[in-house]
Amino acid sequence: MNKTVNPNELTSDDDNGPLYVAQKKVYPQSISGTFRRIKWGLMVLCLGVYYLLPFVRWNRGLGAPSQAVLIDLPNSRFYFFFIELWPQEVYYFTGLLIVAAVALFLMNSVGGRIWCGYLCPQTVWTDLFYAVERFVEGDRRERMKKDKSSGLTLRRISELALKHTIWLMIAWWTGGAWVLYFNDAPTLVKELVTFQAPVIAYIWIGILTATTYVLAGYMREQVCTYMCPWPRIQAALTDEWALNVTYRYDRGEKRTSVKKAAELRAQGEHVGDCVDCYQCVAVCPTGIDIRNGPQLECIQCGLCIDACDNVMTKIGRPKRLIGYDNDINIRRRRAGKAPVYRIVRARTVVYSAIIAAVGGIMLYTLATRSLLDINVLHDRNPVAVKLSDGSIRNAYTVRLLNKSGYDRVIAIDAYGPVNLTTHVVGADSVTPDRPMIVIPRDSTSELRLLVTAPADGNPEKSIPVRFHVTDIGLGEVATSTDNFVVP
Amino acid sequence: MTDHHGEFDSVTGKSTTGHEWDGIKELNTPLPRWWVISFYLTIIWSIGYWIVYPAWPLISSNTTGLFGYSTRASLGVELANLESVRGEKMVALAAAPLADIEKDPALLALARAKGKTVFGDNCAPCHGSGGAGAKGFPNLNDDDWLWGGTLDQIMQTIQYGARSGHAKAHEGQMLAFGKDGVLKADEIVTVANYVRALSGLPTRKGYDAAKGEKIFAENCVACHGDGGKGNSEMGAPNLTDKIWLYGSDEATLIETISQGRAGVMPAWEGRLDPATIKAMAVYVHSLGGGK
């Protein structure tokens, strides 16, 4: 029964092997060119917006926050320039998320992973951290050499200390900017500096300092390859017409050295333009070889295009051996046909239409939304009260919302199939049976509304009632319906 | 951690514990060292608990711990904190004149919130959770008041009650005209029908209205007033309206007249603090029937 099995005979998966491959450290080389310039420009723009936006002011009048973009959690308000959103209006964010997702799909069907390569925070901050690393420790070869030599000289230690200090400064500033979106920025900066700020602000700065430092300084391309779901979704959403950063193997193969290529060309033989210089690999921030075709790891940052263009210029061959292209065009060129680029196709049209529709609906609802609203809740116990003269009274809890930036004077009326009189507990009346209430700016008021049906006109069963709340100054009206219950 | 008892298992490369049940042997997979150390640390930590907090039961009490902590005392502190947080607002409520509370939206909201919870705790058993009342227990939502429906009158009723035994309580009751032999049975039936006629209800066939009026004038007008309009000084209900505390059918009226009625409203002074009674008065007044 107890037959001993030799471990070497076991055929199942080896349990002792590593579950994951070890991270191979990537040493991207510096590069200059069109795409690098675009990336620098977008980095300055993105980081500039992120770090400086909280300091932009927007005048909303006295007593209201003057910050252009502010998430005011204690008062449950979101401010974006001229827009102010209340908690019950978060569906605008749903619309925003739909637009963002479809915009991502649209980018993908036009030019591949534009988001990943140029705009994703992970890419932008990693790029910045690489720039710091290069500035302190030197370019690719120097960094590789320094990492290999184990000796910790004073110079090396100070280099490392400097690099991590700058990294942490950037990370800290990143976390610091985050909390500024949740409070008045200049005030909070003053409080942070004098250690008067709330503890939660320091905790959030700490958390985001840590995530920025770890994600951009250490995990880098691992985040894109292993943590992010987008590469998988992207691969499933792409089609054969989408332009991606592509090695044009029709032009590149067969690879030879510069000298040999010249010799072979002189003999009239076909030679590829790729000279196997590995510059595209050296500059790649995810450490892959684009010449192996489209890969999950490739974030399509375009730096290999710059690297290859530089080499092609040097050896006197046409640029864009690597460029934004697709397999269809590679095959067409091989067959001697001119390449075709189809930006307008069914999916790009549909994506654009969805963006236009959702965006349009959002803009329409935002432009036409009412700044005055009424919610009515019928009393449950008792639902109806008989008064001494035989008339019937129902009580309602009414919540009035004044979303505007000024106090309102409003009147409440109730309309139904029978003549109804209204009274609000504690409120004065403009004319008899027309309660008048003041609702302060940017707030809600809860009132107790009593509605009475006269004894001689008592309805026989429950009837619908329509409540009108009218801004006496502006004539703005909001309505709500409920029932008037007869016992 | 002791592998010298067992034998080596070549499949897993581990030793066994040496235990065997029906040919099944147990691999020796000891707990990780960090786990064991953490376990011992928790034991050491628990000794600290014995010293600092109440822990061991003694014959008549228990060890109190170094700092004399007790959950009961800490609850007391929390309740006191709560009171001090509410304090300012309740002070404002207590200071405001009764008539002005409903004019101030913030004070009205506070009084209604406070009143609602206190009503639920103290008044709901008789008056119902929404103050809708029951037979013998007045509906507080309507505009018919035995002892008056102004803010001051409502507050007075809450403070001292009715027939509650409090020195300032409302007194006066419906006498038992039948039981005490004041009226004969047929006279009671007649006056009961007269009362029904006062509020427009149908009367029994062959009922003598003139006799009824005479009996009413001799026995009832003293409290219920001329024409039965009632008197809130005596707690005598208006007999001409549509609201009946015990019921308006002939049998109930006969029972009321012959047996008398004397419902009790307890006095809340001393049981609830003055600010709370004030909030209660505003709450009841704001239910809709307040004058």
Question: How confident is the model over A150-167, as pLDDT tens digits?
Answer: 778 899 999 999 999 999
Question: How confident is the model over A54-65, as pLDDT tens digits?
Answer: 999 999 888 889
Q: Do B289 and A390 touch (CB under 8 A)?
A: no
pLDDT value, residue B202: 92
pLDDT value, residue A3: 52
Question: How confident is the model over B164-208, as pLDDT tens digits?
Answer: 999 999 998 999 999 999 999 999 999 999 999 998 999 998 889
Domain B185-259 in the same topology as domain B73-169+265-288: yes
Token reading at A68: 């252009």
- Residue A366 dihedral angles phi and psi, to the nearest 5°: -65, -40
Q: What does the DSSP assignment read for A47-102?
A: HHHHHHGGG-B----TTS--BSEEEETTTTEEEETTEEE-GGGTHHHHHHHHHHHH
Q: What does the DSSP assignment read for B118-152?
A: HHHHHTHHHH-TTS--BTTB--SSSS--SS--SHH
Query: Does the structure show a pLDDT above 70 at B226?
Result: yes
pLDDT value, residue A276: 92
Q: Do A393 and B103 touch (CB under 8 A)?
A: no
pLDDT value, residue A220: 92
Query: Does the structure show a pLDDT above 50 at A1?
Result: no
At a CB cut-off of 8 Å and minimum separation 6, what does B230 contact? B224, B236, B237, B238, B239, B240
Candidate from A49-53, A112-116, A258-262, A353-357 with smallest mean pLDDT = A258-262
At a CB cut-off of 8 Å and minimum separation 6, what does A339 contact? A325, A329, A332, A333
Q: Which residues of chain A are within 8 Å of residue B143 when distances are taken between CB atoms?
A: 387-388
- Sole residue written with tokens 């209604």: B112
| DSSP, res B226 | G
Residue A203: closest CA among A183, A176, A182, A181: A176
Per the prediction, chain A carries an average pLDDT of 91
pLDDT value, residue A139: 94
pLDDT value, residue B74: 92
Question: Left if phi > 0, otherwise alpha if psi is -120 to 50, otherwise beta: which for B229?
Answer: alpha
Q: Which residues of chain A are within 8 Å of residue B243 when distances are taken between CB atoms?
A: 386-388
Query: Does the structure show a pLDDT above 70 at A20?
Result: no
pTM assigned to the model: 0.74
pLDDT value, residue B157: 96
How large is the average pLDDT for residues B85-97?
87
Q: Do B130 and A2 touch (CB under 8 A)?
A: no
| DSSP, res A217 | I
CA distance A483 to chain B (A): 18
Question: How confident is the model over A217-268, as pLDDT tens digits?
Answer: 999 999 999 899 999 999 888 999 999 999 999 999 889 888 888 888 888 8
pLDDT value, residue B238: 94
pLDDT band at B277 (very low <50, low <70, confident <90, very high): very high
Report the residue from B102, B238, B243 with minimal CB separation from A425: B102
pLDDT value, residue A455: 84
Query: Does the structure show a pLDDT above 60 at A10?
Result: no
pLDDT value, residue A4: 55
pLDDT value, residue A24: 84
pLDDT band at A5 (very low <50, low <70, confident <90, very high): low
Q: Which residues of chain A are within 8 Å of residue B108 when distances are taken between CB atoms?
A: 425-426
- Cβ atoms within 10 Å, residue A117: 22
Class of the domain covering A372-485: mainly beta
pLDDT value, residue B2: 43
Question: Long-range contact list for A367-371, CB < 8 A, 24+ apart?
Answer: A369/A89, A370/A403, A370/A476, A370/A478, A371/A402, A371/A403, A371/A404, A371/A476
Class of the domain covering B73-169+265-288: mainly alpha
Q: How far apart are CA B265 and CA A414, in angstroms?
A: 37
How large is the average pLDDT for residues B249-274?
94
Q: Is A446 on the interface with B (CB under 8 A)?
A: yes
CA distances from A56 to A60, A63, A184 (A): 13, 17, 10
| DSSP, res B231 | B
Report percent pLDDT > 70 for chain B: 98
pLDDT band at B19 (very low <50, low <70, confident <90, very high): confident
- Residue pair B25/A21 in contact (Cβ under 8 Å)? The answer is no
Query: Does the structure show a pLDDT above 70 at A383?
Result: yes
Question: How confident is the model over A98-144, as pLDDT tens digits?
Answer: 999 999 999 999 999 999 999 999 999 999 999 999 999 999 999 99
Sequence ranges of chain A with CATH classification 2.60.40.10: 372-485
For chain B, the domains span: 73-169+265-288, 185-259
pLDDT value, residue A19: 58
How large is the average pLDDT for residues B15-43?
89
pLDDT value, residue B279: 94
Report the residue from B10, B132, B241 with minimal CB separation from A7: B10
- Residue pair A212/A175 in contact (Cβ under 8 Å)? The answer is yes
CA distances from A466 to A240, B13, B211 (A): 58, 81, 51
Q: Do A388 and B130 touch (CB under 8 A)?
A: no
How large is the average pLDDT for residues A2-15?
53
Q: Do B142 and A7 touch (CB under 8 A)?
A: no
How large is the average pLDDT for residues A29-58?
96
The SS3 of residue A372 is strand
pLDDT band at A478 (very low <50, low <70, confident <90, very high): very high
pLDDT value, residue A7: 53
Q: How far apart are CA B130 and CA A395, in angstroms?
A: 11
Report the residue from B103, B131, B142 with minimal CB separation from A386: B142
- Please report, in range form, the residues annotated as the binding site of B for heme c: 123, 126-127, 174, 220, 223-224, 265
pLDDT value, residue A16: 58
Superfamily of domain B185-259: Cytochrome c-like domain (1.10.760.10)
Chain pair A-B, CB pairs under 8 angstroms: 70
Q: Which residues of chain A are within 8 Å of residue B102 when distances are taken between CB atoms?
A: 425-426
What is the helix (H) or strand (E) element at residue A479, kind and residue range?
strand A477-484
CA distance B214 to chain A (A): 26
Token reading at A21: 């491959």
Question: How confident is the model over B135-148, as pLDDT tens digits?
Answer: 999 999 999 999 99
Report percent pLDDT > 90 for chain A: 75
Residue A447: closest CA among A477, A479, A469, A472: A469
Q: Which residues of chain A are within 8 Å of residue B242 when distances are taken between CB atoms?
A: 386-390
Q: What does the DSSP assignment read for A229-275?
A: SHHHHHHHH--TTS-EEEE-HHHHPSP--HHHHHHHHHTT----S--
Numbered residues of chain B with Cβ closer than 8 Å to any chain A Cβ: 10-11, 13, 23, 102-105, 108-109, 112, 128-132, 139, 141-144, 238, 241-243, 286-289
How large is the average pLDDT for residues B256-274?
94
Question: How confident is the model over A255-311, as pLDDT tens digits?
Answer: 988 888 888 888 888 889 999 999 999 999 999 999 999 899 999 999 999 999 999
Beta strand pairing status for A385-386 and A392-402? Answer: antiparallel
Show the beta-strand stretches assigned E in chain B. 8-9, 14-21, 24-27
Helix, strand, coil percentages (3-state) for chain A, rounded to 5, are 45, 20, 35
